[in-house]
Structures are given as structure tokens and as C-alpha cells.
Amino acid sequence: MIKRIIFISFFCISIIYSQQKQVSNDYIIKFSALDLLTGFLYQSSTIQFGLEKGISKNFSINTEIGYSFHINRKADILSIALDNSSGFTFETEVRNYIDNNPSSYTGNYFSISFLYRYLDAKDHHSVFLGVDEDRPWITYNSNEQYSIFRNEYAFHINYGYQNISISGFTSDFSIGIGLRYISSRTFSAYPISFIDYEFPYNKPFGKGSKLFFSGTAAIRIGWSIK
């Protein structure tokens, strides 16, 4: 997983470095607040930061990287209880600002975004090992920990609004629709009798692949710097 993070970080730096046209001197550093709830239904949260840079008169690129970590909380009827989890997120977005304020990168915008999210989860299940030959009423069981690897890809068309105050404080809100593809695989030495279905996708969390229609929303706060 560390190799993937290094590769994506290098890719993001390359994008930003390649866009050095003197269109705007602003670099907008952002924190994606709603991503703290990403994965909440399977006991995971994501800390995600990004950087937006103008590339032409009304266009910009917003690129974000996030780290996902396990949160211990009591599971409810919709959630999936896991022993542990970790992962990362990469998201890039090309924006077209449509208001009459060239190179300020404020106001209404449309964008196209691509997201990749990876999760490495750990869980356990009870394994039947056998029956005592001399005492057949006694059975032997053991708890086996197994791994789940989950890959998520999403493509969205978004509409949003961004405001930058005189002091540089930035607020950014958007909603979008598109497609989401989730692929999961489980590695276990023993057959697993039950795997939870993840809400709202109605897909086994630990196995299989599925393509969905998808909605997305974002709330970002940040700072514009010279």
C-alpha cells in the first residue's frame, strides 16, 4: 500500500508542477470535511486534503489525497463490524468556472471528477475444526482472521459553488451524479459462511464486483495563498 501512496503522491506533484502558466497566483489548500464520514458504515473514516490550481482563464485542477483509518464504535443494523482497516484515496477534478470573474476561481462551476479509493480490512470468523472422537458432544472451533481488499472507482459530473473571502478563507460546496464501480476480494484459509452486504449498494462487502449509478456531495474548507 505504501508503494501506491508514493506513486499517487508523485503523480499529483507532477500534475501541479506541469501547470505553471501565470493564470492565477493562487494556490487553494483545502480540507474535505464530508470525507470524515466516508466509510462510516464499515467503521472507517478518511482525512483528505487537496490543492487547487488554475490552468487557464476559467479552468482549474483540484487534486486530493486522503488516508483512511479504523474507528472503533458500536455497530448498528446497517453497519459492518470490522476488526481493523486502513487505506487511501486519490481524487482529481477539472473545473470550469462559469461566472464573469476570470481567473478568480470563485462562483458557480461545473466539473468532471475521478476518484479511486482503496481499503485493506481485517475481520474474523469462527472455524469448525472437528469433533472429539472420544467425546462426540465436544466440538473444537477457532477464530480465524481474514483480509478483505476493496477497490472503488467513481466518475462524476458535478455542480458547485466556491467563495474566497478577502482574507483568503475558502468555502466550496458541490453535488454530482455519475457511476461507481466497487470490487472486493477476500483471502481466508477456510470458507466463510456469511459476509455482510454493504448499504446502500446491496453488494457483499467482502467479495464480488458491481457497477452502480452514484451520487456525491462535498463540503470543503480551505485557504487561498499567493
Q: What is the pLDDT of residue 104?
A: 83
Answer for the pair 95, 14: CB distance below 8 angstroms, yes or no.
no
Q: What pLDDT, in 10s, does the model give residues 137-149?
A: 555 566 778 899 9
Q: Where are the domains of the chain?
A: 2-225
Q: Which of 66, 110, 121 is nearest to 88 (CA)?
A: 66
Q: What is the pLDDT of residue 21?
A: 40
- How many residues are given for the chain? 226
Could you give the CA distance from residue 173 to residue 159 in angstroms, rounded to a whole number?
9
Alpha helices, DSSP H, located in the chain = 2-18
pLDDT tens string for the chain (226 positions)?
Answer: 655 545 555 555 455 444 444 444 479 999 999 999 988 888 899 999 999 999 888 899 999 999 999 988 777 777 888 889 999 999 999 999 998 776 688 999 999 999 999 999 998 877 655 565 666 655 556 677 889 999 999 999 999 999 998 888 999 999 999 999 999 999 887 778 788 888 888 889 989 999 999 999 999 999 998 6
Q: What pLDDT, in 10s, does the model give residues 61-72?
A: 999 999 999 988
Neighbours of 116 (CB within 10 A): 15
Q: Cα Rg for the chain, rounded, in angstroms?
A: 22
3-state secondary structure of 147: strand
What are the two backbone dihedrals, phi and then psi, of residue 74, each rounded to the nearest 5 degrees? -70, 125
CA distances from 177 to 46, 152, 159, 162 (A): 21, 16, 9, 19
